[in-house]
Structure 1
Amino acid sequence: MKKISILGSTGSIGVNTLDVIERNPDRFQVVALAACSNVDVIAQQARKFRPQVVSLFDTTKVDALREQLKGLGIEVLAGQEGSIQVATLPQADMVVSGMVGCAGLVPTFRALKAGKALALANKETLVVAGKLMMEVAAKNGCPIIPVDSEHSAIFQALNGEQSERIKRIILTASGGPFRTFTSEQLEHVTRAQALKHPNWDMGAKITIDSATMMNKGLEYIEAKWLFGLETPVDILVHAQSIIHSLIEFVDTSVMAQLGMPDMRVPISYALSYPDRIECDLPSLNLAQMGTLTFEEPDFERFPCLQLAHDALDMGQTLPAVLNAANEIAVQAFLDELIPFKDIPEIIRMTLNHHTPSAVEEIEDVLEADRWAREETRKLVTVAH
């Protein structure tokens, strides 16, 4: 019986993880849950799965959660310290890191320091602190098993292959809802349009990231850290989201992982690795799918891709600034303070205003994140 702690239990990753666990009660047990602010959902989850500990990041709502869970014998924690306790709970064998954005950084880092196996869905953790995360994982012998469908596909296609046999990694991208939009059409994108992803059912932030293709830029950085900074990574637009990613080996053989676009598949693989478990989901029917299409990404229409490449190339604190600026700019768009086309421009200006510095400790990342959020908010205010 594998005991699981979940960071971000009320988000799409957390909900799908709990669905997989509920279908496999003989294999997995939930021991801790952490969420941001959704009292009703985490309370419902706690009543169903009966973890030892739950935590709510929003300290103003923790009393309401305690009231809902009164008499159940479940310890209720709050704030970042509560998330850290969920991530480091001694009874947990594995931590699922599904918190959105940089909020999951410190708890995920502490999980690795505590020697936990990590099912990683929070790509921002490696984007902002990849060097630190990989170092502490190696030091403590902690496996990092990716949950993002693309990185799970790479992980599966590698299947024990040595890094020197890899010629390149090919990350696939759906292209989001605006794949065929012209630059002029992108000038008039609405919030409602941007939130309608053609293939995946995701949270608002990651859906907007898919629309700007920043999601693929962040995944590019994540792939570099997970699979080797020297390994070439290309991006290929594949609108149907059936081929989740590919590996080309030095002999030009290509391995691809295919499947229906359902996050429960990579989640179940991460939870059960190195085993596989049955998933009560529809099988992939390629004959029914018919045609699979591929095209090069357009870095001019979707400049967030180039911003991510440049941030990783320059290194130091720039990836942390990129991520923080993106989070603030995306929220400003969701709040209808800025138009869609301003998201990459505001990120670019924040990066240009930043003086990069070395990342030696987690505090260096947190300071860069704090600075970038403050700077980006100023730029949003000016734009608004």
Structure 2
Amino acid sequence: MGSGKRTLTTVAIALVCAVTVLGTPGGAFASPGRPTPASTPSSGSTRVAGKDLEAVRKKLDDLYHDAAVATDAYNAAQERTKNQSAQIVRLAQEIVKGQEKLADLKDRAGAAARAQYRGGGLPPGVRLWLSDNPQQFLDGAGTALQGEHATEGLLADMTRTQHDLEQYARDAADRWQELDANREAKAKAKKKIEKQIAAAEKLESQLKKQEQKRLQELEDEAALKAQTAWLDSGILKELRGKASGEGREAVKFAADQLGKPYVWGAEGPKSYDCSGLTSQAWAAAGTVIPRTSQEQWKHLRHVDVKDMRPGDLIIYFHDASHVAMYVGDGAIIHAPRPGRTVTIAGAGSMPILGVVRPDA
């Protein structure tokens, strides 16, 4: 590992080591320890005041997971809404330009028709017979023929422009329908997010301070257990990838956001949700990536876990409902969930679906 990457990880870990249980002191994420006897729960310590805190923890995990899925749906609908609004604006501009062009073509066609009318009357053969200068007549006939062709061209252009306007109008109407559908999807997702978060907050509010503290310990212990199992597989021995220049910029941006609150649907600069953090980090590095974790999983290049390098994104859970940035030494930076802040955690502390690389 390069000294720059180790310094970044070390500094970031120092900011959160007081509240995050990840391994033995000084071991960073590369050499995790086992829970000390003091942090290992006794057989009855998960039940406080008659409540099964482990069951509460799992229930909270389910509620916040469902909220994360709904947040991804909200963010996706929001992105589609922005794109459709931009398309409607573009189509409206095309319609205005088309109407102006059509008005100009009508004026020119009318002028050509009036000129043709003024030069009409007698048949061409009679006008040639009456003409004092046959050559001048023939020249004028050629000009008139050109004018007729030009008029035909004007009429064809008018027809094409009219058809374009009709197509623009149909496209705009379609975009409006899609916009309405996505507004409805956003509202539905928002309602679900708020419902799940409210249920989680209500459940947590029913716990006493001692129970809330113990609940946090249980969360840390579950994360440590998963991280330890991941590291025990020997994965760190295989991770040799070095960050690209853009990857280093993305990691630096993510590290600068440590301590900022998680807010669903947020893209910074004061708060983030999980994919808001990763998409903005890579935007700061000069690469635009999809807004949601599911779209990041769907559209970015997949790489094997053993080949990942700092800056890559780890997608979590079977439904790709969470994303974090790998920063080296077996660690990630991510925006976990409501009530938490952007923090460092073990890369294996949640079920990994796969890894994607934005700067492939």
Q: TM-score category by the smaller chain?
A: under 0.3
Which structure would you say has the larger RCO, counting Cα contacts within 8 Å and 6 or more residues apart?
Answer: 2
Structure (1/2) with the larger strand percentage = 1
Higher helix share: 2
Tell me the TM-score normalized by structure 2.
0.22
Larger Rg over CA atoms? 2
With structure 1 as the length reference, what TM-score do the two structures score? 0.21
